[in-house]
Amino acid sequence: MRKTAAERAAYLIALKPRARRALLAKMSIIQQKRLRHYWHLWAHEGQLPPPSAWSVWLILAERGFGKTRAGAEWVRAVAEADPAARIALVAASLPEARSVMVEGASGLLAIAPRGKRPKFEPSRRRLVWPSGAQAMLYSAGEPESLRGPQHSHAWCDELAKWPQVGGRAEAAWDNLQLGLRLGNLPCVVVTTTPRAVPLLRRLLGNDEVVTTRGSTFANKANLARGFIRSVQKQYGQTSLGRQELNGELIEDIEGALWTRAMLETCRENAASSPPVRVVVAVDPPASATGDACGIVVCALGEDGIARVLADCSVEKASPETWARAVAGAAQAWSADRVVAEANQGGAMVASVLRAAEISLPLKLVHAARGKVARAEPVAALYEAGRVRHAGIFPQLEDELCGLIAGGRYEGPGRSPDRADALVWGLSELLLGRRTTPRILLG
């Protein structure tokens, strides 16, 4: 009886090194090249499908784990084994579906052996395998595109990055699920890094979802030598490191003014409305060796929504260094104004900034209340949908999620300097003084 690829791989893996080398030496060059396509030989345990029956397999792991390769290899196995397979490939956007899932280094075209490579038809967003199996590309940002089409299988990549605004991520998932009605056992593979978005929490709360968790270190044999050492040194046990390297889903702190889900809901990849005002907000440090200098760029769009555009904060910087960083941010983003807290020596703050850039439009503000009290009305703006983040700002967002109602701070570092700068910037754009309409009597 002819052995399957998995059985042949298991046999080769089980051999002692000397016997394995002898067997490889007997193989032709072509046979040795074909070995690279025997996925069971190279995959680590977390990249192989669960042995029991499942309808949703969630690979929740961080960067470098090999999630994309695992998803692509699963799709490849399905397509080669089932000519009737109709597979949905869903990413945050169509360009990401194409560049990562199809044409990426670990995508479907790269991993396919010669003779079994699918034909990609970009204009039709379709792949067709020699077996007859087909896959279609979809954007989670267009949930309605998944309403109607039927599928037998699906691969959802970076689900935590799917657009959250307007509930589009959950709508895309629901439409996909309702269309999985072909074949004997419709199933979905989800590959994603952990972020506390509502849809991911929903899947984790479903007992029928089989979850594989993993860290970067599970795949260290296939990563650049200095990568592991570098990221451990830089990120260690920071919230970003725990999430992106160890695969943890960072939980919210009870009573926090900002939650992870709130921030994900207000996120967009880039500003979706032209700015009418741009401010650079600054929370100067008390000393060059103390806290960071919070520097955050915010803009008010034509649609009346404020956006956080950049976090340009600097750590342990001298007055000249952080002043140059402020001037650079103002120039790069064509700021209308720089708003700087002046409680720690207002004249000094003004003179340092003026020395860095004499024409800098500057407004000094004085804090009459604590950082958390100042942050509460700004948090309310987020809840009202009046603020969005044009990108991901891990350190800033960690600080926001550490501000606790009642006056406490439980985030990273001694002080929420980045968060405080953000509060000043958004307050300037959305909570400034407004003129009160008056009726003039003739």
Nearest to 88 by CA among 33, 139, 153: 153
CATH for 43-241, options being 3.40.50.2300, 3.40.50.300, 3.50.50.60, 3.90.228.20: 3.40.50.300
Nearest to 137 by CA among 172, 101, 163: 101
Q: Structure pTM? A: 0.61
Asked if 401 contacts 372 with a C-beta cutoff of 8 angstroms, the reply is no
pLDDT, tens digit, 9 for 90 and up, residues 72-84: 999 999 999 999 9
| CA separation for the pair 409, 340 (Å, rounded) | 21
21-30 average pLDDT score? 71
Confidence check: pLDDT of 23 > 80:
no
Question: Within 99-246, where are the H helices?
Answer: 108-111, 168-179, 198-204, 225-235, 239-244
Task: Enter the tokens of residue 42.
Answer: 């190279």
| Predicted pLDDT of residue 207 | 87
273-297 average pLDDT score? 87
Asked if 238 contacts 412 with a C-beta cutoff of 8 angstroms, the reply is yes
Asked if 188 contacts 57 with a C-beta cutoff of 8 angstroms, the reply is yes
Task: Enter the tokens of residue 318.
Answer: 């001298």
Residue spans per domain, the chain: 43-241, 260-430
DSSP state of 2: P
| CA separation for the pair 253, 266 (Å, rounded) | 19
Residue 11 CB: number of other CB atoms within 10 A?
12
108-112, 175-179, 318-322, 367-371: least confidently modelled range: 367-371
Q: Kindly indicate the confidence band of residue 429, based on its pLDDT and cuts at 50, 70 and 90.
A: very high
Strand 294-301 and strand 306-311: the pairing is antiparallel
End-to-end CA distance of the chain: 102
| CA separation for the pair 236, 356 (Å, rounded) | 34
CATH class of residue range 260-430? alpha beta
What is the Cα 250 distance to its own chain's centre? Answer: 13
